Copies of this chain bind each other. A is one copy, B any other.
Amino acid sequence: MKKITTIVGLVLLIVSVSSVAGSELLTLIKMLHQNGTVDDAQYERLLAEIEVNSLIKQKQQDELSEKLAEVNQVKVEVDQGGLRVKSSDDEFALNLGGRVQVDSAWYDEDGTEQGNGTKIRRARIYLQGKMFHDWGYKIQYDFTASGTKGIKDAFLTYNGFDHVAIKVGNFKDPLMLQDQTSSKYTSLIERALPEAFTAGRHIGVMATTKHKHWTMAAGFFGDKVAVADAGADEGWGLAARATFAPINEKRRILHLGVASNYRKTGDDKSVRFKQQAETHVSGINIVDTGSITDVESTLISGAELAIVEGSFAIQAEYLWTLVERDFAAELDFDGWFVQSSYFLTGESRRYKKGAFGGIKPASIVGRDGIGAWQLAARYSSIDLNDNEVAGGQADSVAIGLNWFPTNTLRFSANYVTILDVDNGPTHDEEPRLFQVRGQWAF
């Protein structure tokens, strides 16, 4: 609406400038007429000429205003690094942007070779738009994956209802605070070990209601976008998440959340849970159940807690997974983490309706600033051992430093130590790793 105000303002200004100009001339003419210097006939002729010229001027300025408005029907912005275009009437918009994350990691192995190296972790572009005010869409592709697997967000939203938004397409199931928070804004480079239980994205339909102090989302989901088993029924699921934020101030937040994710397996009837050592350069899983077969369904439940007190933040989650099988006892896996972060430069984690958002440095590098500097630490734990399944149990301690020179840039360094590995592909090993990331978002 800002744009439309600008245009209306321009028009009003142009009109008013014209109406004021020359009033001193009219005053002079009136004086000269009163003085008798200008006679009645001359006076009338002058008034008529003023009238005609004023009408002509008015008409021309109306046309000018109209044409100026026509030229300025959209607002174009590049000051976030990407491109944002929106129509003046707030009916249409299009954003073009993306993110690139480049990682490098060095491993201090303890048996299994992990593999020092580099990796483009994510290279995404997205198009996000608004159509006819009430409809929104997003398509986001990750070039580090092939074909359909690279399709991340691909959804349509309807925002025409008062308090409920409807989403259709491919998007994240509502599960885990660390998953609802963009990978651009996690406190450590990779998410915590219980990410093994991530639901990820499925093709589905979801209703969401968001309020200052609470949110709720519930959806029905089909299978993953890359699943295309010819001649086999795909899996499906039901997912819901509720969050409460009894305290939601700018630098003071108390967030509580619960979520549940039920999934019926497709005809393949298998599931697998696995996780790397909070790194993705290596490719080595430190816990891995392998393919568990004859699975009827899974039920993943989560509990979330987050506290922000000024520059200090704490976030904890517990995930519990139940695997129902056809011919064998049900399996019971779980995991949890507690992480904490602190901005040395005074910023605060930003919270918006059930998830953490981007970091806005208090000062910008290149504008007499040093950017935002953040310390983070985390303890994670996962247990994929149950019954005959020996996926492994592992803990992890991670510490990290993040530097955000601008709101579009991030450089991070993490040191991770894996502890107490019991069973799984790397039984009894305790590797350590140092990992750095460069990230730019636009």
Contact = CB atoms under 8 A, between A and B. Distances in A.
B137 A143 contact: no
Contacts of A366: 132-135, 160
A70 to B, nearest CB: 6
B169 A438 contact: yes
A365 to B, nearest CB: 7
Given A82-B94, A143-B148, A27 B13 contact: no
Interface in A365-389: 365-367
Contacts of A232: 113, 115
Contact of A148 (B25, B120, B227, B282): B120
A291 interface: no
A83 B129 CA distance: 10
Contact of A120 (B13, B37, B170): B170
Contacts of A440: 131, 135, 137, 156
Query: Dominant SS at the A interface?
Result: mixed
B283 A228 contact: yes
Interface residues of A, number: 125
Q: Closest 4 CB pairs between A and B?
A: A230-B283, A117-B234, A118-B222, A146-B147
Interface of A: 6, 9-10, 13-14, 16-17, 20-25, 27-29, 31-32, 35, 37-38, 42, 45-46, 49-50, 53, 56-57, 60-61, 63-64, 67-68, 70-74, 76-83, 85-87, 91-94, 96, 98, 100, 102, 104, 112-120, 123, 125, 127, 129, 131-135, 137, 139, 141, 143-151, 154, 156, 160, 168-170, 203-204, 222-223, 225, 227-234, 266-267, 282-284, 364-367, 405-406, 408-409, 438, 440, 442
23 contacts: A6-B71, A9-B67, A10-B68, A20-B57, A20-B60, A21-B53, A22-B24, A24-B29, A25-B28, A27-B49, A74-B77, A79-B87, A81-B129, A94-B96, A116-B233, A117-B222, A118-B203, A120-B151, A127-B442, A131-B406, A132-B365, A156-B409, A156-B438
